[in-house]
Structure 1
Amino acid sequence: MKEVKIPIIPSRVTFSGEQKTLDLKAICTFSALGFFLDEDSYFLEQKALKPATIYHLDPLNKIIAEKEYFKWNYNPKERSLQQITEEFATLFEQILKEQSENKKVILPLSGGLDSRTQACGLKHIGADVHSYSYSFANGHDETAYSKKIAQACQFPFEALTVEQGYLWPKIKELSAINSCYSEFTHPRQMAFIEKYAAMGDVFSLGHWGDVLFDDMGVADDLSFEQQVAVLFKKIVKKGGMELATSLWTAWELEGNFKDYLYDCLRTLLKKVNIPESANAQIRAFKSLYWAPRWTSVNLSVFESQKSIALPYYDDRMCELICTVPEKYLAKRQIQIEYMKMRNPAVAKIAWQSQKPFNLYNYHLNKKPFNIPYKIVDKAKRMMTSQNYVQRNWELQFTGRTNERHLQEYLFENEKLNSFVPKSVVQDFYQKFQNENSVYYAHSVSMLLTLSLFCSSEK
């Protein structure tokens, strides 16, 4: 018998059981959301081990016993924002020290707040850091923000470009890495996988900071049924419900998919059971079911090359969040105050989502203060005929070469066509091509993922 302890937010999924009978209902959910819920996998007999749980397994990896050791809660302790920021600083920097000691850190940077917060922390503790960022070919140069952050912290910096069609030569390698538990247009890190070995020893990744250190955008007294509706809207992808419903019908499953998914969400949200705060309850739901089954899946790309460290995933960070009043978690206040305290130069760099404003004046991003910027920005866009690439799938699915590769996987894979009716595949591909590519990109990407899964299944 062996004991397995699953972290509060696991960075990888651990499975128990056999790969035997396909779980068609779970695959419909996967098609709608882009990730599997709770314990689900592709197979009825194989289950994902739950977060914050200790398992005892037999020699055949079957579960003998399980016990939950942590439950998300909301027990706020009133203190000032300054005191909470200092608590966060102490814990955050301790975690960063433990994760980076005697190692060269690889730091992916963006124009957001999570990696920027890490940059300030790593600079403060004197870590050896190699930073990088990327932008899409023919897209907005997002590396401009990252480069300024790296310069302010005196980190070496590398700007990379996600090139058109990078996916196809690497798609089989990616499917082996993530076992087809995520669609393939999201792990942009795959574009540079061959470069990571020379960058350093450990990735310091900022995943989930934006969930832990923000509100969920709802009133704290939101009713349970309204919370379920909010979650439904948040997690179902564009075109996902339509694809899942088509598969449900084609496979002649009992009832209807929408009712099934709503019932799943109700059941899982009831288990969270934080009646004191709708924001805390939704955050806990996302941390239990979204982070491990969506966010963590493609961490495997980084981990295939170097070890990974995630300060926001640390159990101690989760425990701290449960004690912080929602009024201080809202609007990223703690991270913002931390950066202003530790590195004012970084805090003065424009915040991409609030451009051209920074962490000192972002509250001015409203009329009339932002009108001059909006006028200039609109004029710049009108002066160029270039269509900026904004989404990763645009680099993978558009253009003749991409279309040829995509059609090969969707229409020339006999295993896919025996699993998903060819009429369903044709329907969604035509809608993507002729009706609304933005709306149906997810559907096509999920069909591509199922094609790779079918090819890998024994």
Structure 2
Amino acid sequence: MRTVTTPIIPTHQTFAKVKAPHELHLEAICVFVAIGFFLDQDTYWKDKVVLAPASYHDIDDQGFLICSKPWFRWHSTPSISDFTEALEAYSDLFEDIIAKQSKGKQVILPLSGGLDSRTQAVALHRLKREVFSYSYEFQQGYPETKIARKIAEVCDFEFEGYTIPKGYLWSVLDRLFELNGGYSDFTSPRQMAVVDYLEGKGEVFSLGHWGDVLFDSMQLPSLSEGEQVEVLMSKLLKRGGPELAQSLWQHWGLSGEFMDYFRSRISALLSKINIENTNAKLRTFKSLYWAPRWTTVNLSVFGSLAPITLPFYDDAMCQFICSLPENMLSNRKLQIAYIKHKMPELAKISWQNHRPFHLYNYNLNRVPYNLPYRGLKKIQRIMTTLTGKPYVQRNWELQFLGDANRVHLLKHINGDRFFEFIPKDIVLAYCDTFYKNKALEHAHPINMLLVLSQFYKYQIHG
């Protein structure tokens, strides 16, 4: 027997066997189709589970899970009441984590126009680490690399900008399935388009995932548990996902209705979280079930090149969050204050979510102050469309739209073998609707059908 200890937010999924029939877990697959990731410990199979976070797990010599016991439970017990004290504590903790994770190593830092990677840039610059930084943008999309390049220049980091090209997915699809196991869609991890360019660029990745969740608040009033369930459902369910899930639910003859099952699952998981504050409770739900089963899944793409580190996943950072009152976690206050205090030059660079404003004046991102910029961007998008090159905002637009992409997509999901798993009429109906000017409404179902086709190809037929 061996004991496996999982972190508060695991950086990879760890699987174990349980005593159950070796059958497809159809209810779990329907949930996956609806929200884009598996809930709790679910997998494709009834006799296979993912080990829960923040727990000790006893596993026997045959790989069966014997028992699990939590070593940490999320809580909300604020012990810091002064913002200056909180900022100092956050600064010290964050820089200590970054220092330990990057000591003696050349760092690969993905940069964006947001706050998480910018805070990492501050710490790495202050620690005088050798950093290779990069960013990417969509072909025919917003030039995201502009902000990242400015951040790198101020920090004196080496920098390269990349473009996510149209149709790259089809040449890396099999490799991506090997990396994420079909536990995520294939267009969200757009880093797959540039990962080969990063070979040999450094010894460790410093990744900023989950900072935006930990250091912000949904700013909701106090809600009943039933109301919280409805909020979570609205956040989790993807456009077109519940409809596809219900179609499969009916086809497989599962009892009741999909939405009733899904609501009961969310309610049961939420009821286990013993936190009174609505916002802290929902943040905890996301950190328990969303981060490990969606965000974590595609970290394997980075991990295929070099070891990964995630300062916001760190156990000490998660525990620190539990000590802060909700008002200090709203509106990214701590991260903004950290950047402004430690490296004001970076605070003066545009914040992508509030462009063209920066951390000193983003409060002006409202009418009438933002009208000139919004008007200019609208004109640019119209001009791009008039040239016959539509403005691209999402990766699936580059990978699924157009005649060449359609041929590749149909090659993967339009086949008799796959129709053994997902009925032909469902598959073709979604494809037809997607390509008849209903792309936005059906992009998620198309993504899920592609994932299920790869799963069936490799896990069922081998």
Which category describes the TM-score, using the shorter chain as reference length?
over 0.9
**Of residues 441, 444, 452 in structure 2, which corresponds to 1:439?**
441
My pick for the range that moved more, 143-152 or 56-65, is: 56-65
The C-alpha deviation readout for 1:107-128, integer Å capped at 9, x for no partner, is 0001111111111111111111
Q: What is the CA–CA distance in structure 2 between the aligned matches of 1:167 and 1:312, rounded to whole Å? A: 29
One-letter amino acid of the counterpart of residue 342, structure 1: K
**Of residues 117, 120, 130 in structure 2, which corresponds to 1:118?**
120
Q: Which residue number in structure 1 is paired with residue 203 of structure 2?
A: 201
The C-alpha deviation readout for 1:70-103, integer Å capped at 9, x for no partner, is 0010001242222111111101011101110111
CA 422–185 in structure 1, closer or farther in 2 if over 3 Å, else same: same
The correspondence of residues 285-364 of structure 1 with structure 2, limited to 5 A, is: 285-364=285-364
- The Cα of 1:374 is off from its aligned counterpart by 2.7
One-letter amino acid of the counterpart of residue 78, structure 2: P
Please, what is the CA RMSD of the aligned residues?
1.2
Q: What is the CA–CA distance in structure 1 between the aligned matches of 2:204 and 2:246, rounded to whole Å? A: 42
The correspondence of residues 4-19 of structure 1 with structure 2, limited to 5 A, is: 4-17=4-17
- The Cα of 1:12 is off from its aligned counterpart by 0.5
Contact 1:196/1:306 (<8 A) preserved: no
Q: Which residue number in structure 1 is paired with residue 240 of structure 2?
A: 239
Contact 1:37/1:293 (<8 A) preserved: yes
**Of residues 403, 406, 409 in structure 2, which corresponds to 1:406?**
409
Q: What is the CA–CA distance in structure 1 between the aligned matches of 2:200 and 2:78, rounded to whole Å? A: 44
The C-alpha deviation readout for 1:242-287, integer Å capped at 9, x for no partner, is 1100100111110010000000000000011212x10000000000
Contact 2:216/2:329 (<8 A) preserved: yes
The TM-score normalised by the length of structure 1 is 0.97
Contact 1:131/1:158 (<8 A) preserved: yes
Q: What is the CA–CA distance in structure 2 between the aligned matches of 1:435 and 1:110, rounded to whole Å? A: 31
Q: Secondary structure at the match of 1:366?
A: coil
Q: Secondary structure at the match of 1:434?
A: coil
Q: What is the CA–CA distance in structure 1 between the aligned matches of 2:96 and 2:324, rounded to whole Å? A: 19
One-letter amino acid of the counterpart of residue 42, structure 1: Y
Q: Which residue number in structure 2 is paired with residue 397 of structure 1?
A: 400
Contact 1:17/1:46 (<8 A) preserved: yes
Q: What is the CA–CA distance in structure 2 between the aligned matches of 1:334 and 1:359, rounded to whole Å? A: 12
Q: Secondary structure at the match of 1:138?
A: coil
Q: Which runs of 5+ in 2 are unaligned?
A: none
The correspondence of residues 43-82 of structure 1 with structure 2, limited to 5 A, is: 43-82=45-84
Q: Which residue number in structure 2 is paired with residue 256 of structure 1?
A: 257
Q: Secondary structure at the match of 1:140?
A: coil
One-letter amino acid of the counterpart of residue 243, structure 1: L
Q: What is the CA–CA distance in structure 2 between the aligned matches of 1:248 and 1:279, rounded to whole Å? A: 32
Q: What is the CA–CA distance in structure 1 between the aligned matches of 2:375 and 2:108, rounded to whole Å? A: 38
Contact 2:113/2:352 (<8 A) preserved: yes
Q: Secondary structure at the match of 1:198?
A: coil
**Of residues 388, 392, 416 in structure 1, which corresponds to 2:391?**
388
Q: What is the CA–CA distance in structure 1 between the aligned matches of 2:374 and 2:212, rounded to whole Å? A: 26
Contact 1:228/1:265 (<8 A) preserved: yes
Q: Which residue number in structure 2 is paired with residue 372 of structure 1?
A: 372
Contact 2:381/2:391 (<8 A) preserved: no
Contact 1:415/1:451 (<8 A) preserved: no
Q: What is the CA–CA distance in structure 2 between the aligned matches of 1:192 and 1:368, rounded to whole Å? A: 39
- The Cα of 1:231 is off from its aligned counterpart by 0.2
One-letter amino acid of the counterpart of residue 200, structure 2: A
Q: What is the CA–CA distance in structure 2 between the aligned matches of 1:272 and 1:139, rounded to whole Å? A: 41
- The Cα of 1:138 is off from its aligned counterpart by 1.1
2:100 is equivalent to residue 98 of structure 1: yes
- The Cα of 1:375 is off from its aligned counterpart by 3.3
- The Cα of 1:380 is off from its aligned counterpart by 3.7
Q: What is the CA–CA distance in structure 2 between the aligned matches of 1:442 and 1:373, rounded to whole Å? A: 31
- The Cα of 1:431 is off from its aligned counterpart by 1.5
Q: Which residue number in structure 1 is paired with residue 189 of structure 2?
A: 187
2:169 is equivalent to residue 162 of structure 1: no
CA 243–196 in structure 1, closer or farther in 2 if over 3 Å, else same: same
Q: Percent identity?
A: 48
One-letter amino acid of the counterpart of residue 405, structure 1: H
The C-alpha deviation readout for 1:401-457, integer Å capped at 9, x for no partner, is 111010011112x33210111111011111211141011000001000000000101
Q: What is the CA–CA distance in structure 1 between the aligned matches of 2:358 and 2:26, rounded to whole Å? A: 48
CA 381–167 in structure 1, closer or farther in 2 if over 3 Å, else same: closer
> How many residues are paired up?
455
The C-alpha deviation readout for 1:332-359, integer Å capped at 9, x for no partner, is 0000000001110000000011011100
Q: Secondary structure at the match of 1:67?
A: strand
Q: What is the CA–CA distance in structure 1 between the aligned matches of 2:383 and 2:101, rounded to whole Å? A: 47
The C-alpha deviation readout for 1:361-380, integer Å capped at 9, x for no partner, is 11111123223323333344
**Of residues 414, 427, 430 in structure 2, which corresponds to 1:428?**
430
My pick for the range that moved more, 17-26 or 402-411, is: 17-26
Q: What is the CA–CA distance in structure 1 between the aligned matches of 2:287 and 2:426, rounded to whole Å? A: 33
The TM-score normalised by the length of structure 2 is 0.97
Q: Secondary structure at the match of 1:151?
A: helix
Q: Which residue number in structure 2 is paired with residue 225 of structure 1?
A: 226
- The Cα of 1:382 is off from its aligned counterpart by 4.1
Contact 2:80/2:86 (<8 A) preserved: no
Q: What is the CA–CA distance in structure 1 between the aligned matches of 2:102 and 2:413, rounded to whole Å? A: 43
Contact 1:211/1:283 (<8 A) preserved: yes
One-letter amino acid of the counterpart of residue 400, structure 1: D
Q: Secondary structure at the match of 1:313?
A: coil
